[in-house]
């Protein structure tokens, strides 16, 4: 446990030195909330477009902001591989799960900050624009349900960083970030599109994550029960895969 927290502290210091964390993970979510709110104001009421209203936008932006922790994790792991840090630590008593936890803990801290920024922004925007603000229960449920959602993206980032180079990891992560916004139904109504597009989206963790946080934000217990098993299953699968990938790199760092 001590080894894990020592490694996590070192990873946290590396994240604090990287401006990417401040720009994309902290600043961008708040900016996106303001931009999408302005877009919502320009949509005529006759269009019946509710996707960018605070009760749907806030959970959507929360999931979108979590996707950037995937970028942070991928950069951290790939950078440590490039600097041979993992190779040097391969002779230490640390195991694959210790490395994985060390990368995960700092990203979870970033996720909590993201959740606070987006939720507070959403509540303020809702109050100013005349929409209903979420209940305390809805906010607490949103916080609890954010944990497995955030874990999915973090473990995906660790997995990408374990196999991709320092230059390739950010590019591939950006593809997944864009995909999460489209297939997750953040920027478009996937259910309204339907067809094969909806079926593809339901096979990804992104749509289930957005549905889960929107249900939590609205304190919809039935919606939470429907989406939570899928999100937890995806988080467990990616956790196992990321631990296995890191273990492989620790045992055979030159491959």
Compute the average pLDDT of residues 138-142.
95
pTM: 0.90
pLDDT, one tens digit per residue, over 110-119 is 999 999 999 9
Under 8 Å between Cβ of 84 and 236? no
Of the candidates 123, 122, 114, 11, the one whose C-alpha atom is nearest the C-alpha of residue 66 is 114
CA 14-166-8 angle, to 5 degrees, is 30
Compute the average pLDDT of residues 137-143.
95
For 140, other C-beta atoms within 10 Å of its C-beta total 13
Compute the average pLDDT of residues 229-243.
94
Sign of CA dihedral 109, 110, 112, 117: positive
Q: Is the pLDDT of residue 16 over 80?
A: no
Q: Is the pLDDT of residue 190 over 60?
A: yes
How does residue 255 score in pLDDT terms, banded at 50, 70 and 90?
A: very low
CA–CA gap between residue 231 and residue 120 (Å, rounded) = 24
What ranges do the domains of the chain cover?
Answer: 2-40+52-251
pLDDT, one tens digit per residue, over 154-177 is 999 999 998 888 889 889 999 999
In angstroms, the Cα distances linking 191 to 47, 132, 142, 204 are 16, 24, 22, 14
Mean of the per-residue pLDDT values of the chain: 86
Q: In the chain, how long is the greatest CA-to-CA distance? A: 65
Q: Which residues are within 8 A (CB) of 125 and not within 5 positions of it... i.e. 6 or more apart?
A: 33, 34, 37, 54, 131
pLDDT, one tens digit per residue, over 41-93 is 877 776 667 778 888 999 999 999 999 999 989 988 888 877 766 666 666 66
């Amino acid at each position: 446990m001590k080894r894990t927290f020592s490694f996590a502290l070192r990873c946290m210091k590396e994240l604090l030195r990287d401006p990417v964390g401040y720009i994309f993970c902290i600043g961008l979510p708040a900016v996106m909330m303001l931009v999408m709110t302005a877009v919502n104001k320009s949509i005529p009421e006759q269009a019946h477009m509710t996707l960018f209203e605070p009760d749907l936008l806030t959970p959507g932006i929360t999931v979108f902001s979590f996707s950037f922790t995937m970028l942070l994790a991928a950069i951290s792991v790939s950078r440590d591989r490039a600097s041979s840090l993992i190779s040097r630590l391969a002779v230490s008593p640390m195991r694959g799960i210790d490395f994985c936890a060390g990368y995960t803990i700092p990203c979870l801290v970033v996720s909590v900050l993201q959740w606070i920024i987006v939720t507070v922004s959403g509540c303020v925007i809702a109050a100013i624009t005349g929409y209903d603000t979420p209940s305390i229960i809805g906010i607490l449920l949103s916080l609890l349900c954010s944990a497995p959602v955030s874990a999915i993206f973090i473990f995906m980032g660790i997995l990408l960083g374990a196999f991709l180079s320092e230059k390739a990891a950010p590019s591939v992560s950006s593809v997944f970030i864009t995909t999460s916004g489209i297939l997750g139904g953040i920027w478009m109504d996937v259910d309204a599109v339907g067809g094969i597009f909806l079926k593809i989206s339901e096979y990804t963790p992104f749509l289930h994550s957005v549905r889960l946080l929107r249900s939590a934000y609205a304190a919809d217990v039935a919606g939470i029960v429907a989406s939570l098993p899928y999100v937890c299953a995806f988080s467990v699968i990616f956790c196992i895969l990321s631990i296995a990938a890191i273990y492989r790199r620790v045992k055979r760092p030159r491959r």
